[in-house]
Structure 1
Amino acid sequence: MTENDQTFEFSEFSGEFVDDDVTVILRIYRPAGTNLDWTLEVFDEEGNTTIWNDTFDTDRDAFEEFLATVQRDGIRSFLDEPVQRLH
């Protein structure tokens, strides 16, 4: 199976997130049918992507990391150039 054929299971925490008049799309996912760790990815209004290098044991852990980043750095930090974040 090629990477393009891969299907994913998306967390219920995935979706649109709005704060300070900024909207981002939050994607928390893992390969479908597995118990692998979760990947955290954020898309800004321009379609740029921020992805965390590390994966998360649970989708809740990934969501809490996203919220902590917003609280620490602000939602506008996702509007800067796309970055890879360590967790």
Structure 2
Amino acid sequence: MMETILHPAEGRSREAGQKSREGKSMMIDDDPELEYSSLCEEVRREGTTVKLQIFRLKGSTDGWSLEVVDHKDGSTVWEDLFATDQEARDEFYRTLELEGIHSFAEDRPSESLH
């Protein structure tokens, strides 16, 4: 079961990765096809690496989703869509500068949760 922690002030939530017994992420076969931005990347700071993922439903013009995945497959997802993939990337870096890379880590200290 996934654990979700909502950060209402920031409009994002955290979900712990769902794992199978082998430790691999479980996938549902009928997941919609996604289009990933060319701005996706791994970011490393202070010894911590996160994956910046910007995506939308393939063929959609509804906007871009922003997700940051930590080293334990914990996920921070913004609830709002972004008009462009660049706006999503800018929001990630704005949050990174304000809160630090550890704000995206699943095992961050509980007092740092919003």
Q: Give the TM-score, by structure 1 length.
A: 0.84
Structure with more of its chain in helix, by fraction: 1
Corresponding residue to 1:19 among 45, 49, 57: 45
What letter matches 2:97 in structure 1? Q
1:79 deviates by 1.1
Equivalents in 2 of 1:24, 1:7: separation in Å?
A: 23
Equivalents in 2 of 1:33, 1:62: separation in Å?
A: 18
Query: What is the 5 A alignment of 1:6-85?
Result: 6-80=32-106
Equivalents in 2 of 1:16, 1:80: separation in Å?
A: 16
Between Structure 1 and Structure 2, whose CA radius of gyration is higher?
Answer: 2
User: SS in structure 1 opposite 2:102?
Assistant: helix
What is the aligned length?
A: 81
Q: Which runs of 4+ in 1 moved over 2 A?
A: none
1:15 deviates by 2.1
* Worse-superposed segment, 58-67 or 11-20: 11-20
Equivalents in 1 of 2:60, 2:79: separation in Å?
A: 19
What letter matches 2:102 in structure 1? R
1:80 deviates by 4.2
Q: Give the TM-score, by structure 2 length.
A: 0.65
What letter matches 2:99 in structure 1? D
User: SS in structure 2 opposite 1:17?
Assistant: strand
Equivalents in 1 of 2:31, 2:69: separation in Å?
A: 22
Equivalents in 2 of 1:37, 1:13: separation in Å?
A: 15
What letter matches 2:82 in structure 1? F
Could you say what the CA RMSD is over the residues aligned between the two structures, in angstroms?
Answer: 2.0
